[in-house]
């Protein structure tokens, strides 16, 4: 049966990087992938056209799609919008919430060719392969009450950090199952020395552990985890954590791979419907220059093929093509080194496409 894929280019570098990823998706179609691809508006682009960061039409298209490919949303143009509900980021959070995409997979893999591009010593990151499993539809991002209000003559901003047992359990199961398929080690990251929501988090992870006897569960406070990620990152296999800690730790993990432009992601619900996006943002500082790294978005297409479209061979082919292009010494500016050839976003797309036909 033909499945639907929705592409949401978004803002800033979003349209530049999704243009390259779309070409790879088209190559997959030419190689037998049975999907129907359409585009939609999200974020600032949607606000400019319709006054809403997540128009009803986009939400309907997203609900009808098996998989969504997102570029990135946001930028200085919309940062001053007083109504928080109109900000581009709210559009993205809305898709995640409305589709119930609670399971966010953020793999940080250091390609051997890029070990020297990391800001860490090459021997610390060469061969790195971590999977961060981030809870994506709960925690402090969505807790109520929230707001900014006047109290005792001054304004007070407040948010609520809340997790229910069932929310913790379902992301815990995703992480334990992921660990079973990988190195069988799971580190749960929390702040259980201070925050009740994460005391419960730790309890639920402990309760699940006996059901996965082949997985070794450990716990780490988030401040230590941030430190350990840059001290000795290869100690980790699968990391499971809440929404905000996962946001922060995945950006830190990105630098281990050489650049945030290398980190793809999948956000899944219980039925395998998913949104796929690079972990980085709309990079307003380089938007429009044609120099952004499209590899995180191209690798997100590979994740889409693996997790939502049941086409693992095509996924592997894309990943091999990316490896090949890196072997050939092609680099966008963010991962460039002395001995490499610096290319534009489109040239990198051309090269991956050509390699895809060869591998
Ligand atoms: N998923 C998303 O849509 C998403 C994620 C993060 C941030 N944002 C939004 O993006 C905007 C900018 O945020 P920010 O500056 O904090 O983070 P950012 O990730 O956009 O940029 C951080 C730095 O990384 C660089 N960078 C990011 N992606 C790159 C790529 N593919 N190739 C080369 N360099 C790249 C940027 O040039 C910048 O110097 C904000 O509006 C933010 O809310 C969106
Ligand atoms: C843009 C923002 C809402 C988003 C988040 O915080 O989840 C981003 O930083 C990410 O990592 O996908
Ligand atoms: Mg982030």
Torsional class of 242: left (φ above 0), alpha (ψ -120 to 50), beta (otherwise): beta
- According to DSSP, residue 178 is labeled H
Please answer whether residues 349 and 293 qualify as being in contact, where contact means their C-beta atoms are separated by less than 8 angstroms: no
pLDDT tens sequence across 164-177: 999 999 999 999 99
pLDDT for 279 equals: 95
pLDDT tens sequence across 190-213: 999 999 999 999 999 999 999 999
pLDDT for 338 equals: 85
pLDDT for 291 equals: 98
Q: Judging by beta carbons within 10 Å of its beta carbon (0-12, 13-18, 19+), is residue 210 exposed, middle or buried?
A: exposed
What is the average per-residue pLDDT within 22-28?
98
Residue 187 in this model has a pLDDT that exceeds 90: yes
pLDDT tens sequence across 69-109: 999 999 999 999 999 999 999 999 999 999 999 999 999 99
Element containing residue 215 per DSSP (H, E):
none
Residue 339 in this model has a pLDDT that exceeds 90: no
pLDDT for 48 equals: 98
Residue from 7, 248, 280, 322 whose mutation best tests the ligand 1 pocket (most atoms within 8 A of CB): 280
Residue 320 assigned ligand-binding role: no
Q: DSSP per residue over 248-272, as a string?
A: HHHHHHHHHTT-GGG---EEE-TTS
Report the atom number in ligand 2 closest to the C-alpha of 93.
Answer: 3
Residue with tokens 């047992």: 165
> Which of 4, 48, 86, 251 is labelled catalytic?
251
Calpha distance 220→263 (Å, rounded)? 23
Distance 279 CA to ligand 3 centre (A): 6
Protein residues whose CB sits closer than 6 Å to any atom of ligand 2: 74, 89, 92-93, 247, 279
Q: Please count the other Cβ atoms lying within 10 Å of the Cβ belonging to residue 141.
A: 18
Distance 248 CA to ligand 1 centre (A): 13
Please answer whether residues 71 and 294 qualify as being in contact, where contact means their C-beta atoms are separated by less than 8 angstroms: no
Which of 79-83, 214-218, 241-245 comes out lowest in average pLDDT? 79-83
Calpha distance 162→250 (Å, rounded)? 21
Calpha distance 24→29 (Å, rounded)? 9
Q: Which domains does the chain have, with CATH numbers?
A: 1-102+270-359 (3.40.718.10), 103-268 (3.40.718.10)
- 181 noted as active-site residue: no
- 11 noted as active-site residue: no
What is the average per-residue pLDDT within 43-50?
98
- 310 noted as active-site residue: no
Q: With pLDDT > 70 as the criterion, what percentage of the chain qualifies?
A: 100
Residue 290 assigned ligand-binding role: yes
In what order do the strands lie in the sheet containing 238-241?
A: 35-39, 3-10, 67-72, 274-276, 266-268, 103-109, 129-135, 238-241, 185-190, 216-221
pLDDT for 347 equals: 98
């Amino acid at each position: 049966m033909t499945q639907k894929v929705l592409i949401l280019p978004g803002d800033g570098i979003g349209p530049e990087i999704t243009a390259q990823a779309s070409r790879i998706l088209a190559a997959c179609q030419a190689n037998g992938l049975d999907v129907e691809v359409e585009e939609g508006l999200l974020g600032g682009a949607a606000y400019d056209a319709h006054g809403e960061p997540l128009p009803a039409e986009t939400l309907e298209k997203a609900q009808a799609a098996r998989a969504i490919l997102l570029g990135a949303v946001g930028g200085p143009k919309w940062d001053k919008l007083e109504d928080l509900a109109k900000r581009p980021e709210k559009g993205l959070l809305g898709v995640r919430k409305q589709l119930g995409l609670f399971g966010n997979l953020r793999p940080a893999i250091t390609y051997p060719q890029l070990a020297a591009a990391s800001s860490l010593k090459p021997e610390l990151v060469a061969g790195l392969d971590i999977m961060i499993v981030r809870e994506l539809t709960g925690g402090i991002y969505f807790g109520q009450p929230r707001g900014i209000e006047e109290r005792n003559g001054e304004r007070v901003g407040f948010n609520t950090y809340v997790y229910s047992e069932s929310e913790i359990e379902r992301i815990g199961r995703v992480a334990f199952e992921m660990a079973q398929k990988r190195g069988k080690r799971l580190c749960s990251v929390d702040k259980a020395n201070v925050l009740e929501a994460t005391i419960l988090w730790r309890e639920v992870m402990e309760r699940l552990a006996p059901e996965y006897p082949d997985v070794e569960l450990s716990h780490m406070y988030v401040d230590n985890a941030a430190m350990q990620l840059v001290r000795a990152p290869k100690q980790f296999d699968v990391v499971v954590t809440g929404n905000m800690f996962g946001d922060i730790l995945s950006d830190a993990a990105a630098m281990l791979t050489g650049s945030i432009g290398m980190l793809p992601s999948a956000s899944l619900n219980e039925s395998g419907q998913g949104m796929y996006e690079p972990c980085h943002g709309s990079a307003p500082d380089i938007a429009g220059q044609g120099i952004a790294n499209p590899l995180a978005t191209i690798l997100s297409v590979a994740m889409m093929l693996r997790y939502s479209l049941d086409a693992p061979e095509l996924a592997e082919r894309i990943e091999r093509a990316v490896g090949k292009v890196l072997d050939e010494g092609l680099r966008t500016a963010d991962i460039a080194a002395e001995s490499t050839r610096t290319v534009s976003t489109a040239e990198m797309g051309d090269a991956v496409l050509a390699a895809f036909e060869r591998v």
